[in-house]
Amino acid sequence: MLKQKKTLIALPVVILTLLLLAGTAYGEEIKTGVINADTVNMRESPAANAKVLIQLPKEAKITVADKQGDWYKISYNDSQGFVFGKYVTLKDAVIDSGTINGANVNVRSKPDKSSEILTKLDKGAKLEIYEYSDNWARIGISEGRSGWVYEDFITVKKVSGSRGETAEPVKTDEQVNNNTEEDIRQQIVGYARKFLGVKYVYGGSSSKGFDCSGFTSYVFKHFGISLERTSTSQGSHGVKINRSDLKPGDLVFFDTNGGLNAINHVGMYVGEGKFIHASSGSTNKVIISDMTEGFYYKNYMRSRRYIED
């Protein structure tokens, strides 16, 4: 059974003002990365004369939370600080995998049939998917490069709850009402994934652009569930659950300012310690992030369930 909630008005003007003053520096995760030089200093602030907190070895895996000028704000183990950008190699997060289902399929430079063809892939070629945009998927090709393939030519294997589990196709609203709870969860997560790569727009609540709570409310509305409009309100209703009891489709809440005293960000849990959300950080779009370590692990606040068991 689906639990109904009433929709509230948009964020008040005072919150908008504060966010505009803060800009995007309050730390949405953008990518993972590795240190590409020997003994790199992680500093207290983004300046060459700032205090050195620790030194990072070559190939150290890091989480990048923000970019400030030529510097990246990063997390490494239990430490946070700044590293000069040229010493960091960013890596795309793989959100899905799949295979090419057509012959001689074009990989293009942009999600557009008129854009440059970078290479061609044969039927059965395996690939990793980094993001989606409309009916296109951005995939890895070679030497750190990526390109775009039309989704009709990809058989996608989506992770939903357990590794290797393939998500069901999104069904109509009429079909959703006849599903079991587990089917509904898979459908909600599958529908949310369709918007990966959609740009972040403050106050946005449509497929043309979302903010974090606009995204969750839009997805749930498709399945007949009305959520409050703000992340704070969404985090104050629903059924309280423990982090250890999360299921795909549950909502997770964070304080991206780092004080752990006020919710200002929401996303949807998709399984395996990851969640999908509209990020206002350097990515500025709908992405999937890890909440088992790094920035979101440290700034997690609570979880709420809007799908009745």
What residues act catalytically?
212, 265, 277
Angle of helix 212-221 versus helix 181-193 axis, rounded to 10: 130
d(CA 288, CA 274): 7
Alpha-carbon torsion (37, 42, 47, 51), positive or negative: negative
d(CA 176, CA 141): 37
d(CA 135, CA 77): 37
Residue count of the chain = 309
75 and 103 Cβ atoms separated by less than 8 Å:
no
Bridge partners of 31, per DSSP, are 64
DSSP secondary structure string, 26-57? T----EEEEE-SSSEEEESSSSTTSPEEEEEP
Bridge partners of 139, per DSSP, are 129, 147
Cβ neighbors of 73 (< 8 A, separation 6 or more) are 27, 46, 64, 65, 66, 67, 80, 81, 82
Report the alpha-carbon angle 13-20-46, nearest 5: 155
213 and 238 Cβ atoms separated by less than 8 Å:
no
107 and 117 Cβ atoms separated by less than 8 Å:
yes
Three-class SS of residue 219? helix
Bridge partners of 126, per DSSP, are 99
109 and 141 Cβ atoms separated by less than 8 Å:
no
